[in-house]
Structure 1
Amino acid sequence: MSISDSFGIYLHIPYCRGKCRYCDFYSAPGAKGVPQQYVEALLRELAKNTRRPDTVYFGGGTPALLTPAQVRRLILAANPLPGAEITLEANPDVVTPEHLKGFAAAGVTRISFGIQSADDTQLRRLGRTHTAQSAARALSWARAAGFEQICGDIMLALPHYSNEEFDRTLALLEQGGCTHISAYLLKIEPGTAFGHNPPAGLPDPDAAAEFYLYAVRRLEQEGYRQYEISNFARPGCEGRHNLLYWNCKDYLGIGPSAHSCLGGVRRYWPDDTAGFMAGTAQEQTEGVCDGEDFLIMQLRLRSGLDVDEYAARYGIRFSASQQEFLRQCAEHGYARWDGHRLQLTPAGLIVQNSILQELI
């Protein structure tokens, strides 16, 4: 299947054991598992889809609160194509060796752990319920369960942060066999615990940018190639599902707060778990995926924007003044620009919003 034909399914699992202090995703803390009624609601919506996906993504929340039997039913209902990438997000303190073996047997091919830091004090500050030791143990169990694609998340520019903390976290993930790493800056979101009461010791924007650039350099040194603003992978281990988003391809989201883009039309489910389970919640149309969306998404990728494809899809070409601006960006190390392809460098990715303001 070519990338132009690719189609993915995202299943939102809005259940967590607790709410992290930085988290603004739609979730229901306090859950010990995923109610069977919720799984049945997902199955109900999957039954309406007739298109076979080549990626399935269990996101949340904490999808690892699903049982292997529930995961198996959902994968069978999604009816993925042979060789599909099937990802399940997990917290290190939720999984057991038996659960991980069960997920693999159910068809999950890629396990993604929210590890964030190797510093236990930092983890407690963030509201995480695992430790560095339990993270290392979970990674070991994932390898023993047969997972060849293991992902780990690192949060940057945390309170009282240092390059040494990043190096310790990178070492934990690398020694744990991670083939893919997401490294992203902490963002204080309104409505979160940190939004109401920001922690002390947060780095200023310049320091945060330096932490990001240091992370990019170190990850590249260790063989994790940056392919998107916050994503790095061993060769061939890039996340196929998220590439659908960034390349403006079709994906179907199911569950409260889940978003879809099908045939260029964006839709979303309201934040209403009870309504979703009861079948009373209805998807809402959000708009269309236009040239502005395509530009924004393509410039997240290190491969960048093919301006001829941009023109062919949306009839948009950069003006003479915009091309001059891009030449200046290239001269100052923020971009690579040859008149046909625009690629932002790591320094350019930090100021992506400013560059986009000149191009939209």
Structure 2
Amino acid sequence: MSFGLYYHIPYCFSRCRYCDFYAAGAWRGVPDAYIDALVAALGRHVLPGRPDTLYFGGGTPSLLTPAQCARLIQAAAPKPGAEITLEANPETVTLASLQGYRAAGVNRLSIGVQSARDSQLRTLGRPHTAAQARQAFALARQAGFANISGDIMLALPHYTRAEFDETLELIRQGGACHISAYLLKIEPGSAFGRRPPAGLPDPDQAAGFYLYAVEQLTRAGYRQYEISSFARPGFEGRHNRLYWDCEDYLGLGPAAHSCLGGKRFFYPADTAAFIAGADPVPDGGCGAEDYLILQLRLSTGLDLAEYRRRGGAAFTPHQLAFLERCAQAGYLTLTPRRLTLTPLGMIVQNSILEELI
């Protein structure tokens, strides 16, 4: 069994208008007291072993100094060859900081681009420009990073296929070997949720943008392996795969979630409480239903024998008839061994799951 460790870095320059993730407010750096708290929290857990993956997520992890990053990696003591990922915002990185992260042990960088159009970035509330995104990729390569991911957000206000093409080209030319492509979701707790922007695509248009993205990413050499994840061969993200395969992972920081030994828990969304040493809150277990939900995110789909081994119930005649209709409509493939959603099926994954759970 593999084990992953997640460090949540909740600090940001400012909040993007689509974001409803927990954040600690506007900061220009990460307080050392927060690093102390992460290290202390790590020491309070009984781990299943040294981590195979380590992920710095946020927030804006690239607000960490290289020295802070090095301290957290040393505390984690990851296995040799572990995948160590740091999310980075383009406006926060320099050649010196990226070189420092590499020296600390980071070997995978995830750069938040979202769009290649400055007007769109301003609409989203992103504090960087397209030129800064291009520069971030160039600096990452100069610093020695060979495993680089880039984020694209789809179905944005007044979106067009041309905007996607421009963003894909920026990331591809930047040397990315992995791309995460997400549909914009209007979250109730975000600024967009309180005041939706004009020009949002309708659901059918958004689905069309998603299918176009899958097609163009495939043509560009990025194979889809999960609903929102595309990679050149050998560069699939190992850390998130732990989540989808229901492996053990520990999340540290306010609002961070974990699953260890089949038990889920999370830290309250309160930075001050976390720094003060708050305990995590139990959140139930991880069973066959979780496995079904998470495996259907993957292009490899659900292994039905493994699903039954984990306690999954056999599909009823009604469910099998439903799945057969979905297969005929092009939403999935079903064999005696495996259930797999097509890209078209991934768009309506929630509706399919409602019928199966």
TM bucket normalised to smaller: over 0.9
1:166 is matched with which residue? Answer: 164
By how many angstroms is 1:30 displaced?
Answer: 1.6
Partner SS state of residue 314, structure 1: coil
2:344 is matched with which residue? Answer: 347
By how many angstroms is 1:315 displaced?
Answer: 4.3
Provide the rounded CA distance (Å) in 1 between the counterparts of 2:295 and 2:241: 10
Provide the rounded CA distance (Å) in 2 between the counterparts of 1:355 and 1:244: 23
By how many angstroms is 1:326 displaced?
Answer: 1.5
Q: How does 1:267-286 map to 2 (within 5 A)?
A: 267-279=265-277, 281-286=278-283
1:287 is matched with which residue? Answer: 284
Q: 1:32 aligns with which of 28, 41, 44?
A: 28
By how many angstroms is 1:150 displaced?
Answer: 0.4
Structure 2 letter corresponding to 1:205? P
Deviations along 1:223-269, one digit per CA (max 9) or x if unpaired, are: 10001100101111111000000111100000000000011111000
Q: Comparing 284-293 with 7-16, which one deviates more in the overlay?
A: 284-293
- Structure 1, gaps ≥5 residues long: none
Provide the rounded CA distance (Å) in 1 between the counterparts of 2:127 and 2:312: 50
Q: 1:311 aligns with which of 308, 311, 323?
A: 308
Q: Is 2:289–2:312's contact at 8 Å kept on the other side of the alignment? A: no
Provide the rounded CA distance (Å) in 2 between the counterparts of 1:194 and 1:28: 19
Structure 2 letter corresponding to 1:324? A
Provide the rounded CA distance (Å) in 2 between the counterparts of 1:227 and 1:63: 25
Q: Is 1:24–1:192's contact at 8 Å kept on the other side of the alignment? A: yes
Partner SS state of residue 232, structure 1: strand
Structure 2 letter corresponding to 1:67? T
Provide the rounded CA distance (Å) in 2 between the counterparts of 1:339 and 1:305: 11
Q: How does 1:14-163 map to 2 (within 5 A)?
A: 14-49=10-45, 50=47, 51-163=49-161
Question: Under a length normalisation based on structure 1, what TM-score does the superposition of the two structures give?
Answer: 0.97
Q: Is 1:310–1:317's contact at 8 Å kept on the other side of the alignment? A: no
Question: Under a length normalisation based on structure 2, what TM-score does the superposition of the two structures give?
Answer: 0.98
Q: Is 2:287–2:310's contact at 8 Å kept on the other side of the alignment? A: no
Structure 1 letter corresponding to 2:24? A
Partner SS state of residue 34, structure 1: coil
Structure 2 letter corresponding to 1:179? C
Provide the rounded CA distance (Å) in 1 between the counterparts of 2:262 and 2:150: 31
1:331 is matched with which residue? Answer: 328
1:204 is matched with which residue? Answer: 202
Provide the rounded CA distance (Å) in 2 between the counterparts of 1:307 and 1:324: 17
1:240 aligns with 2:230: no
By how many angstroms is 1:178 displaced?
Answer: 0.5
Q: 1:255 aligns with which of 253, 256, 265?
A: 253
Partner SS state of residue 131, structure 2: helix
Structure 1 letter corresponding to 2:238? R
Provide the rounded CA distance (Å) in 2 between the counterparts of 1:304 and 1:335: 9
Provide the rounded CA distance (Å) in 2 between the counterparts of 1:208 and 1:351: 12
Deviations along 1:182-241, one digit per CA (max 9) or x if unpaired, are: 001101111211111100000000000000000000000001000110010111111100
By how many angstroms is 1:29 displaced?
Answer: 2.9
Question: Percent of pairs identical after alignment?
Answer: 64
1:189 is matched with which residue? Answer: 187
Which consecutive aligned stretches of 4+ in structure 1 deviate over 4 angstroms post-superposition? none
